[in-house]
């Protein structure tokens, strides 16, 4: 049985330069992360056609942030791994990046964000990586400061990999103590491979939880991609990774005053794979 990453080393050590590069260049990992970020964004239930400011907790190299960008949202990402954030900078993501430990709390003003997502990060808080770490206290501090920096109609959605039922209970208990309402949504519960856990938290009182998905992951992914591309074409927006999409993203970065590579005839051109 493969060793869980959070048992190997603290995240800031585990995701060193080599591991960060491997993680951010593995096409299978990228596809899975993007699919989970798309599902988390769906569970946020944001107003349609309305750009929002989203907090991406454990943003890593910006894979989930790219999903937010594709849906016209602004975002701020926070991660404990400098190596991961360095890759995000090299990828020229649109979001602002913060180096920090989520267990030390969210360093943002009250009511700043319209929502928050987190992909594959929450389970790291269940470990005591230092002798002064108390997982329950760190979880409570994290959730209470997150509650503060969200608007009173916002949701926070966490995709995570619980090790056991005790971790699920500890996480949900501390989130409710901090003031959140909500609960667990488990997609594909009967599939050992496609099963995914999402903690859906609400700030504005108890509401109905979203329905979990039950069809195969492959069917849903194909359906989502088809609907997304059709919607983009209908709105006249360029498809992701096309030359027009890349040029639009670079222009948006220039308007924000960020360093951006010059446009050339090679911009957006696919590499042949030959050297």
Residue 103 domain-assigned?
yes
Q: Is the pLDDT of residue 242 over 80?
A: no
What confidence category does residue 220 fall into, taking pLDDT thresholds of 50, 70 and 90?
A: low
Percent of the chain at pLDDT > 90 equals 64
pLDDT band at 115 (very low <50, low <70, confident <90, very high): very high
Arithmetic mean of pLDDT, 224-247? 64
What are the structure tokens assigned to 137, written together?
Answer: 């206290």
Above 90 in pLDDT, residue 259? no
Residue 248 covered by a domain: no
For 51, the domain range is: 5-214
227 found inside a domain: no
Q: Would you list the DSSP string of 134-187?
A: -HHHHHHHHHHHHHHHEEEEEEEEEEE--SSHHHHHHHHHHHHHTT-EEEEEEE
In a domain, 245, yes or no: no
In this structure, is residue 265 part of a structural domain?
Answer: no
Phi-psi region of 70 (alpha: psi -120 to 50; beta: other; left: phi over 0): alpha
The enclosing domain of 132 has a CATH number of: 3.40.50.150
Residue 235 lies in a domain: no
Residue 263 in any domain: the answer is no
Token pair, residue 217, equals: 């992951």
Per-residue confidence band for 63, with pLDDT thresholds at 50, 70 and 90: very high
Say which residue, 8 or 203, is predicted with more confidence: 203
In a domain, 184, yes or no: yes
Q: What is the pLDDT of residues 170-195, one digit of tens each?
A: 999 999 999 999 999 999 999 888 99
Number of domains in the chain: 1
Tally of CB atoms within 10 A around 240: 17
- For residue 273, what pLDDT is reported? 47
Per-residue model confidence (pLDDT) at position 275: 38
In this structure, the strands spanning 96-99 and 150-160 are unpaired
What's the chain's average pLDDT? 87
């Amino acid at each position: 049985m493969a060793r869980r990453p959070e048992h190997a080393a603290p995240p800031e050590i585990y995701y060193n330069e080599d591991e960060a590069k491997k993680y951010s260049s593995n096409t299978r990992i990228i596809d899975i992360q993007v699919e989970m970020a798309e599902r988390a964004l769906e569970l946020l239930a944001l107003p349609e056609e309305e750009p929002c400011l989203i907090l991406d907790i454990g943003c890593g190299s910006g894979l989930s942030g790219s999903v937010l960008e594709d849906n016209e949202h602004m975002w701020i990402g926070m991660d404990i791994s400098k190596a991961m954030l360095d890759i995000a900078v090299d990828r020229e993501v649109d979001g602002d990046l913060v180096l920090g430990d989520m267990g030390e709390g969210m360093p943002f003003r009250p009511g700043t964000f319209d929502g928050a997502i987190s992909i594959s990060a929450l389970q790291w808080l269940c470990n005591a990586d230092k002798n002064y770490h108390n997982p329950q206290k760190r979880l409570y501090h994290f959730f209470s400061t997150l509650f503060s920096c969200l608007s009173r109609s916002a949701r926070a959605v966490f995709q995570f990999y619980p090790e056991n039922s005790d971790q699920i209970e500890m996480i949900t208990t501390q989130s409710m103590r901090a003031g959140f309402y909500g609960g667990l949504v488990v997609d594909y519960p009967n599939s050992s491979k496609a099963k995914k856990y999402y903690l859906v938290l609400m700030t504005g009182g108890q509401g109905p939880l979203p329905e979990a998905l039950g069809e195969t992951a492959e069917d849903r992914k194909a359906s989502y991609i088809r609907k997304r591309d059709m919607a983009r074409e209908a709105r006249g927006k360029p498809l992701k990774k096309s030359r027009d999409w890349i040029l639009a993203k670079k222009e948006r970065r220039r308007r924000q005053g960020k360093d951006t590579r010059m446009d050339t005839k090679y911009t957006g051109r696919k590499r042949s794979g030959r050297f």
